């Protein structure tokens, strides 16, 4: 790997750009540290590049990551859904991944619902607590 920080070798990032898989939001980070971005995407694409995961599994995982409530990257969701459909993944399989991914947000309900029940009962038992 070229250690020149002004013009480093970035074959993984270059391939992503050429394939239309590059997010322009990564440009500022790449400008600051292209070598780190190259290593990051080298790690992220390792399972598919090395054949560790089959393309179907990789695309389904990519859909889940991009659609997750902590990421919500619509262009990636669209790109990976399109690729998944092209390689024969069914609409039902993609929908199942989206349904499973939506569970990530269920923690808000798991946290909030019991507190709501407790506080509603407390209000019913004791009346208003007053002002803040």
Mind listing the domains of the chain with CATH numbers? 11-126 (1.20.1290.10)
**What's the chain's average pLDDT?**
90
Token readout for 131 is 């002002």
Residue 7 has pLDDT above 80, yes or no: no
Query: How much is the pLDDT for 131?
Result: 63
Q: What is the pLDDT of residues 60-103, one digit of tens each?
A: 999 999 999 988 999 999 999 999 999 999 999 999 999 999 99
Query: How much is the pLDDT for 1?
Result: 44
pLDDT band at residue 2 under the 50/70/90 scheme: very low
Rg (CA), the chain: 22
Specify the higher pLDDT residue, 16 or 3.
16
Average pLDDT of the segment spanning 121-127: 92
Q: How many whole angstroms separate alpha carbon 131 and alpha carbon 58?
A: 53
Q: How many whole angstroms separate alpha carbon 131 and alpha carbon 92?
A: 51
Residue 21 has pLDDT above 90, yes or no: no
* Contact between 35 and 8 (Cβ < 8 Å): yes
Query: How much is the pLDDT for 132?
Result: 62
Residue 25 has pLDDT above 60, yes or no: yes
pLDDT band at residue 130 under the 50/70/90 scheme: low
Cβ neighbours for 64, distance < 8 A, ≥ 6 positions apart: 97, 98, 100, 101
Token readout for 36 is 């780190």
Residue 120 has pLDDT above 70, yes or no: yes
Q: How far is CA 5 from CA 1, 52, 71, 107, in A?
A: 11, 31, 29, 42
Q: What is the pTM of this model?
A: 0.74
């Amino acid at each position: 790997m070229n250690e020149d920080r002004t013009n480093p070798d970035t074959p993984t990032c270059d391939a992503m750009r050429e394939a239309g898989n590059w997010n322009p939001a990564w440009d500022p980070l790449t400008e600051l540290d292209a070598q780190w971005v190259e290593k990051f995407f080298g790690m992220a694409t390792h399972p598919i590049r090395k054949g560790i995961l089959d393309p179907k599994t990789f695309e389904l995982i990519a859909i889940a990551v991009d659609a997750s409530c902590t990421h919500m990257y619509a262009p990636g969701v669209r790109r990976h859904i399109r690729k998944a459909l092209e390689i024969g993944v069914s609409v039902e399989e993609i929908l199942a991944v989206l349904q499973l991914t939506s569970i990530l947000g269920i923690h808000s309900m798991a946290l909030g619902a019991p507190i709501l029940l407790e506080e509603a009962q407390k209000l019913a038992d004791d009346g208003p607590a007053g002002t803040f």
